[in-house]
Structure 1
Amino acid sequence: MQSIHLTKNENALITKGARRMRKTKGIWKRAAGVMAMAALLMTTGCAQSSTSSGSGSDDKGGGSGGSVKIGFILSQTGTFAPLSEGIVNGFQLYLEQHNGMLGGKKVEMKVEDDEANPQVALRKYRQLVHGEKVDILVGPISSAVAYALRDEVEKDKKVLIDANAAGDDLSWSKKSDYVYRVSFSNWQNGSSTAKYLAEQVGKKAVILAPDYPAGKEVLRAFKAAFEAAGGKVLKEIYPKLNTNDFAPYLQEASAEKPDFIYAFFTGSDGIRFITQYKEFGLKGKIPLTGPLEFGDELLTQPTGEAAEGIIAGINYSPYLDNEQNKQFVEAYKEKYGKLPNIFAVQGYDSAAAIDQAINKAGSLNSQDLIKILKGISLDSPRGKITIDPATHNPIQNFYISKNVLKDGAIVPQILETVENVKMPEASPF
C-alpha cells in the first residue's frame, strides 16, 4: 500500500484537498435536501413538522404525520469533514436497515455545516431548532462547538445525541440532562493506552496535539495516567489546528530523545502528521503512539505503510470479531464500497439510540426521552455499550493495538483489552 507524500507536492495536494472539500460541502447539502424530500414524500400528505418544543409537547405521536425530524450539526468542510461523512453514512445505513424509520416514525433529516466554528454552530442551531422545529439533534464533531451548544440545548430542553464531540466537561461541570454521548470522551481516549505504554514501551515521552480543547484534554488525560504509571512527559507541543508542515514540531520532539512520541491528530491533520513522521525519518527510530484515531481506518487507510507499527488505543475496528460487527461491516461495504471507521459506527449508534429511546418512551417529549437515554444500552458493532447515568458517557471496551501490514492493508493487531472503561464521575484535574 502506498503512503501519501504530502510534503513532496504540498501545493498540488492542498489544491486537490480544497476542491474535495468544496465538493463535499455541495454533495452533503444536496444529500440533505434529497433525503429530507424523500422522507417527506413517504410521510402521509407531506405534512409539516410539529411547532411545539421538545419539552412542551405531550403528543405521543411526535412530529407531524408520524414523523420525527432530526437536525444534524456537523463539520462538513475543513479538517473534520471526513469524520462528518462517516457519521452521516452510519446514520443513513441504520435508516436503510429500518425502512427509513426510528421509533416507528418516518425520519426527516436536516444536515447543517458548522464549519467547526462555535459561532456558526450557534446560528445553525437556532435555524434548526427555532426555524425548522427539529425534534432531536445529532452532532457535533468539535468539542469547542459542543461546549457552545450545551447552554442552548439546556435552555430549549432539546435532546442532543452527541455523535462525536469528546469534551470531558460535557460529563463533568457542563453535564446536561439533554446531552447524551455515544462516542467516547477525551479522558477515555487519552488515558486508555498510558499504563501499557509505560510498562511495555518506555518511561519517557514527548506528547503532541492541536492547540484546541480536544487536543489539550486528550494530552491532559494521557499525561496524568502515564505519570501515575511511572512515566515522565518530557515536553508538550501544541501545533495550531490545520498545520500543513509538521517538520519544526517533529524536530522539537525528537530533540528530547524520548522513548516514544504520543500524538493526537485526526482528519486531514492526522493524515499529514503520520505521513510526515515517516518522511522526516522518525518511523522505525522513535515509536509513534496515539489514541484511537491512530488505529482507525480514517487515518490508516490513506496513510498506508506510514501507519505501520503505530500503537493506539482503539474502541472499534472493522476486524473486531463479533456477529453485530460482521453484519455491519458487510452492509457498510455493500452500500459505500469501503470499510467503516469509528465515526460511521458513532453515526449508526446515534440512530440506534434514538430508535430505542422513541420506542420505549412512546413520545418525542424530551422529558420522556431522557428517562430512557440515562442508562441505555446498545448492541453496537464495537460491542455492548451503556450510557452511564452519572456521566452521560458510554462505558465501553478499549483495545491496545498495533498497526500491522496484512494482505496490503493496515490491520490493528489487538495486544491487550481494557474492559469497561468508565469516566470518573467528577473531574480528577
Structure 2
Amino acid sequence: MTKTVSWLAAVAACALVAPLPAQAQAQAQAPENLKVGVIATLSGPPAVLGQQIRNGFQLAVKELGGKLGGREVEVLVQDDELKPDVAVGKVKALVERDKVDFVVGPVFSNILQAIVKPATEGGAILISPNAGTSNYAGRDCNPNLFVTSYQNDQMHEVSGKYAQDKGMKTAFIMAPNYQAGKDSLAGFKRWFKGDVVDEVYVPLNQLDYSAELSKIAAAKPSVVFVFLPGGMGVNFVKQYRQAGLAETIPVLSTFTVDESTLPAQQDAALGFFAGSNWAPNLDNPKNKAFVDAYEKEFGAVPATYAFQAYDTAMLIDGALKATKGDTKDRDALRAALRKADFTSLRGDFKFNTNNYPVQDFYLTKVAKRPDGKFQTEIVSKVFDDYADSYVGSCKMK
C-alpha cells in the first residue's frame, strides 16, 4: 500500500516537471532570441555621433515591437572609445562569447578597418551604418560586410561638384589624418578641377584651429572645404565665425555642420553648406514620421547617423522576414540582405555588387526652424542614383 502510494506520487511529481510532448515540441521549435551587437563611439568629443547610431537603431527595434523579422531581439551596445584595439576586443567578445548574429557599427573608418576581420571571420555579418572606406568598396570587398550609409568619398564629392559647377577657382581643403579623411579629400578633388591652394591633414580630435585659420586668411581661397566630424566641427565652425572668415570665404563641408553638431554650433553655423544623402526635411511620409518619433523619443533632431542606423534595423528586419527568421543559412541571409527589401527613409536605395548603396545625394544648408532648433535642409539634388567609384575593383558579382 505504501509502495503504491509512493510510486503514484513519483509519477505525479514527474508529470509536474516534465513537459507534455506538445509542449516539448513547441519549446524545441521556438527560436532563440536574435542577438545584435552595436559598436559605436560613445565617449569623448565624438560621443554624440555614436549616441545617434545607438538611438536610431533602438528606435527602429522599438517601433517593430522589440522584434526583427519576427524574432525577439537582444541588442548589446558597446563603446569602442575610438580606439581600434579596444574595438577589436569588444567585437571578439560579441562574436565569440555573446554569439551575436549581426554586428552593427562603427562610426569611424579606422575602427571599421580594425573590426572587419574579427567580425566577419568570427561568423557574424557586419553592417556599417556610417563608415564606408574605399578599400572595402573595391579590392577588399567582403560578402559579409554591408554598408547602409555611403562610400566615404561620395558625400564629399557633392561639395567638389558644387564648387566646380559654381566656377570656384581655388580651394583650401582640410580633414583628419585617417582613412576617412583621405577619402574625403579624394572625393572633393574628383570633381573639383580648380587649384587646391593647400591640403591639410590634422590629428583626429584636434580642437584648436588657429594655425589653420591663419593659413586660410593668408591664402584667400574661393572656398574652404572641410570634413571635421563631432567636436572637431563644433570648434572649427565657432572659431571660423569668430575669425570673421565666414563673411568672405564660404565653407563647404561634410559632417562638420549636421544635426549632431548644430545644437552646440547654433547661429555660428547658419548658412554653411554640406553634402549629404539625406536631411530631416526630406519630403516623404516615412521620413517625416521618423523625424517626429526621434525628436519625441530623444529630444533632439536626428542626424544622418541616426537615420542610417534606423535603416540598418529595417534592412535586417526585411531580410529576416524573407528567411523566416533563419540566420543559420548564411547564403540565404546574404541574398536576402542584398535585395534590400525595406523602405529607406532616404527614398531610393539599392545595393551595388560591392554591398554599398546606390542612392541620391544632395547639397544641404544649415537653417533655423520656427521652433528655434537647427537643422540641415535640402537645397538641390546633386547626384541621382549615384554609384561609388570603386565598385569596378570588387570581385563580387
Q: Same fold (TM over 0.5)?
A: yes
* Residue among 240, 260, 271 paired with 1:309: 271
Q: Give unpaired runs (5+ residues) of structure 1.
A: 1-60
The residue aligned with 1:160 is 126
Describe the shift of the 1:310–1:133 C-alpha distance in structure 2 as closer, same or farther (beyond 3 A): same
The residue aligned with 2:312 is 350
* Residue among 181, 187, 199 paired with 1:236: 199
Query: Which digits, 9 at most, give the CA deviation of each residue in 1:298-324, with x for residues without a partner?
Result: 122321111112121122211111101
Contact kept, 8 Å, 1:295 with 1:314, in 2: the verdict is no
Equivalent position amino acid for 1:301 in 2: P
Contact kept, 8 Å, 2:234 with 2:256, in 1: the verdict is no
Structure 2 residue 348 is the aligned partner of structure 1 residue 380: no
The residue aligned with 1:94 is 60
Equivalent position amino acid for 2:80 in 1: D
Query: Which digits, 9 at most, give the CA deviation of each residue in 1:171-190, with x for residues without a partner?
Result: 11221100000111211112
Aligned-pair distance for 1:294?
3.7
Aligned-pair distance for 1:328?
0.8
Mapping 1:3-152, distance limit 5 Å = 65-152=31-118
Contact kept, 8 Å, 2:84 with 2:110, in 1: the verdict is yes
**3-state DSSP class of the match of 1:233?**
strand
Describe the shift of the 1:126–1:225 C-alpha distance in structure 2 as closer, same or farther (beyond 3 A): same
* Residue among 241, 251, 258 paired with 1:296: 258
Contact kept, 8 Å, 1:295 with 1:401, in 2: the verdict is no
The residue aligned with 1:275 is 238
**3-state DSSP class of the match of 1:289?**
strand
The residue aligned with 1:412 is 376
Query: Which digits, 9 at most, give the CA deviation of each residue in 1:330-358, with x for residues without a partner?
Result: 11122112221111101111110111111
The residue aligned with 2:387 is 422
Contact kept, 8 Å, 2:56 with 2:309, in 1: the verdict is yes
**3-state DSSP class of the match of 2:260?**
helix
How many angstroms apart in 2 are the aligned matches of 1:234 and 1:62? 67
How many angstroms apart in 1 are the aligned matches of 2:251 and 2:105? 30
Structure 2 residue 334 is the aligned partner of structure 1 residue 367: no
How many angstroms apart in 1 are the aligned matches of 2:378 and 2:296? 26
Q: Give unpaired runs (5+ residues) of structure 2.
A: 1-26
How many angstroms apart in 1 are the aligned matches of 2:269 and 2:315? 33
Contact kept, 8 Å, 2:38 with 2:103, in 1: the verdict is yes
Aligned-pair distance for 1:196?
1.7
How many angstroms apart in 2 are the aligned matches of 1:272 and 1:295? 11
Contact kept, 8 Å, 1:162 with 1:183, in 2: the verdict is yes
Q: TM-score, normalised by structure 2?
A: 0.87
* Residue among 177, 192, 211 paired with 1:248: 211
Mapping 1:313-332, distance limit 5 Å = 313-332=275-294
The residue aligned with 2:19 is none
Aligned-pair distance for 1:90?
0.9
Describe the shift of the 1:145–1:245 C-alpha distance in structure 2 as closer, same or farther (beyond 3 A): same
How many angstroms apart in 2 are the aligned matches of 1:63 and 1:136? 22
Aligned-pair distance for 1:134?
1.1
How many angstroms apart in 2 are the aligned matches of 1:200 and 1:401? 15
Query: Which digits, 9 at most, give the CA deviation of each residue in 1:96-149, with x for residues without a partner?
Result: 111100011111111111111111111111111111111111111111111122
The residue aligned with 1:223 is 189
Give the number of aligned pairs.
Answer: 363
Equivalent position amino acid for 1:275 in 2: K
How many angstroms apart in 1 are the aligned matches of 2:29 and 2:68? 12
Q: TM-score, normalised by structure 1?
A: 0.80
The residue aligned with 1:170 is 136
Describe the shift of the 1:64–1:108 C-alpha distance in structure 2 as closer, same or farther (beyond 3 A): farther
How many angstroms apart in 2 are the aligned matches of 1:85 and 1:281? 32
Describe the shift of the 1:246–1:97 C-alpha distance in structure 2 as closer, same or farther (beyond 3 A): same
Describe the shift of the 1:413–1:374 C-alpha distance in structure 2 as closer, same or farther (beyond 3 A): closer
Query: Which digits, 9 at most, give the CA deviation of each residue in 1:58-91, with x for residues without a partner?
Result: xxx9998431011112111123211110111111
How many angstroms apart in 2 are the aligned matches of 1:105 and 1:220? 42
Higher Cα Rg, which structure = 2
Aligned-pair distance for 1:295?
4.6
Contact kept, 8 Å, 1:195 with 1:226, in 2: the verdict is yes
Query: Which digits, 9 at most, give the CA deviation of each residue in 1:191-217, with x for residues without a partner?
Result: 122122112161210100111111111
Contact kept, 8 Å, 1:73 with 1:113, in 2: the verdict is yes
Equivalent position amino acid for 1:357 in 2: A
Q: Percent identity?
A: 33
Structure 2 residue 363 is the aligned partner of structure 1 residue 400: yes
Describe the shift of the 1:97–1:399 C-alpha distance in structure 2 as closer, same or farther (beyond 3 A): same
* RMSD of Structure 2 on Structure 1 (CA): 2.1
**3-state DSSP class of the match of 1:207?**
strand
